[in-house]
């Protein structure tokens, strides 16, 4: 079963397995620290459940569910 980052609920953790996104978006996400094996935690959801706030490499960033869906977890 494939699990993607948008499936996590608040407080759940995971580790990145792969990013399935077009070249530029993939590069962007990786530049922000989403590389293979990195630990992530979903910290919060925005008022309408989208975007989501994620903690990665000791800092927080937000991204939309559409982007989170492209990050596969293991």
Partner 1 sequence: MQTIALIGNPNSGKTTLFNALTGTSAYVGNWPGVTVEKKEGMVGGHTILDLPGIYSLSPYSPEEKLSRRYILDEHPDLIIDVIDATNLERSLYLTTQLAELGRPLLLVLNMEDLLEKEGIKIDTKRLSQMTGSPVVTVSASKGTGIDTLKQAIGQSLEEKHAALCPLFSNVVERYILHIIEDDYLHAIPKERQRRWAAIKLIEEDELFLSSMPPLPEAFSTYLAQVRTELVAHYDDDPEAIIIDQRYKVAEQIAKDCQIRKQKAKSFNFDSIATNRIAAIPLFILIMGAVFYLSIGLVGGYTTPILENLFGYLGQQIVTLSDSLGVYPLLSGILVDGITSGVGAVLSFVPQLFVLFLLLSILEDCGYMARIAFIMDRMMRTLGLSGKSIIPLVIGTGCSVPAIMSSRTIEHQKQRELTVIVTPFIPCGAKMPVFALMLTYFFPGQWYIAPLIYLLGIAAVIVTGLLARAIDKHKETNAFILELPRYQLPTVKNVWLQTKERTLGFIQKAGTIILLSSVIIYLLSSYSFTLQAVDAEASMLAILGRIIAPLFAPLGFGFWQASVALLTGIAAKETIVSTLSVTVGTANLGSFFNPASALSFMTFILLASPCIAAISAMFRELGSKRKLLYALLWQTGFAYVSALLVHYIVLLCI
* Cβ 17 to partner 1 shortest distance, Å: 11
Among 12, 20, 39, 64, binds partner 1 (CB under 8 A): 64
Range 13-42, binding partner 1 (CB under 8 A): 18-19, 23-33, 35-36, 38
What DSSP line would sit under 11-72, residue for residue? T-EEEEEEE-S-HHHHHHHHHTT--TT-EEEEEEE-TTS-SEEEEETTEEEEE-HHHHTTEE
Among 3, 15, 39, 46, binds partner 1 (CB under 8 A): 46
């Amino acid at each position: 079963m494939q699990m993607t980052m948008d499936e996590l609920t608040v407080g759940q953790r995971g580790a990145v397995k792969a990013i399935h996104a077009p070249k530029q978006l993939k590069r962007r996400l990786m530049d922000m620290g989403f590389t293979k094996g990195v630990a992530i935690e979903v910290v919060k959801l925005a008022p309408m459940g989208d975007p989501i706030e994620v903690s990665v490499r000791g800092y927080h960033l937000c991204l939309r569910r559409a982007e989170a869906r492209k990050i596969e977890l293991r």
